[in-house]
Each structure stands twice: as C-alpha cells, then as structure tokens.
Amino acid sequence: MSVDLAELQRGVAALIRGAAPPTPDPWLEEVATSPRLGLVQYIITSWREMLLRRSAPLTTTLLDDANRLADSFARIATRPESPFTEDLACAFLADFVDDEDPLVAEVARFEMRMIDAAHAPRQSGV
C-alpha cells in the first residue's frame, strides 16, 4: 500500500474529525473530496443525536422547542466519542446545568442525576 494500515486508519480518523491526514496519500485525498466522507460524518452525528434524544429526552425536547438543539448537537459532534452512552449524555447535559434558562438548567441537572442513579452499581443492602 502507498501508506501502511496504521497511517491509513489515522488518516481516515483525521478526515472524519475534519482534520488533515498526518501522512499524505492519494486515496486519503480521494476520500477527503468524496461525498461519502460527509455521509460517514452524517451517520456518526445522527447516531449521537439519536442516543442523546433517548438518554436526555426532557432536555433535548426543551432545547428543540427553543430552536437551540441543532447548535447543541453541533457543539458535541467534535468531542471524543465514548463507548458509554451515559458519558455522551452527561457531557451533553453538562453544557446546560448552568444554562441561563432556569428550566433548562434544572432539567439538565435532573437528567444527569437520573443517569448517575440508573448506572450506579446496585447496593446489596441489609
């Protein structure tokens, strides 16, 4: 291959994040200008949005009603992915716990606590 597997994967990962590949390569240049790269980014964003709507339904609904949801999703799109949905949701909600809209702030804090409680290990009580 013109670049080895490691450089190829690093290059694709960089392109997905909107950065330049660390090592130039003709195929990576083709990917950079292909509409398919945008499609892959769209899939990643859509998946995150779906998970956030599911994990934080109240906060996302309030933001949607205020026409603020698209900007909120865009902000989180560039952050590192976590394998845990609850990490993604808490990172998203953390942006709103001190929101200027007191209802949004209160609901975001409530949903963060709900996520913490739902995923805390069960105590074997006596």
Partner 1 sequence: MVALSPLPAPSPALGMSWNGGDELLLQRLLPYVDFVETTPDTIARKQHGRAVIPDETLDELRRIATTKTLLVHGVGLSIGSHDGWCEDYLSLLDQLFATVDVAWHSEHLGYTRVDGAMLGTMLVLPRAAEALDLLCRRIDAIQERYAVPFLVENVVDLLPPHPESRYSQARFLNELTRRTGCGLLLDVYNLQCDAQNQRLDLDAFFDELDFRPVREVHIANGVEHDGVRLDVHSRRTDETARHLADIVLRRAANVEVIVYEFLPQAIRPIGHDALTEELALLHARFCA
Q: Site residues (CB under 8 A) for partner 1?
A: 1-2, 4-6, 8-10, 12-13, 16, 26-27, 30-31, 34-37, 39-40, 42-44, 47-48, 50, 54, 80-84, 86-87, 119-122
Instruction: Give the nearer residue to partner 1 in terms of CB position, either 11 or 104.
Output: 11
Instruction: Give the nearer residue to partner 1 in terms of CB position, either 33 or 67.
Output: 33
- Shortest distance, CB of residue 106 to partner 1, whole angstroms? 25
d(CA 43, CA 37): 10
- Shortest distance, CB of residue 107 to partner 1, whole angstroms? 22
- Shortest distance, CB of residue 92 to partner 1, whole angstroms? 14
Instruction: Tell me which residue of 112, 117, 103, 102 sits closest to 55, measured CA to CA.
Output: 112
Instruction: Give the nearer residue to partner 1 in terms of CB position, either 4 or 64.
Output: 4
d(CA 61, CA 65): 6
C-beta separation of 76 from 91 below 8 A = yes
Structure letter (DSSP) for residue 122 = P
d(CA 52, CA 79): 14
C-beta separation of 101 from 66 below 8 A = yes
Instruction: Give the nearer residue to partner 1 in terms of CB position, either 52 or 104.
Output: 52
- Shortest distance, CB of residue 84 to partner 1, whole angstroms? 4
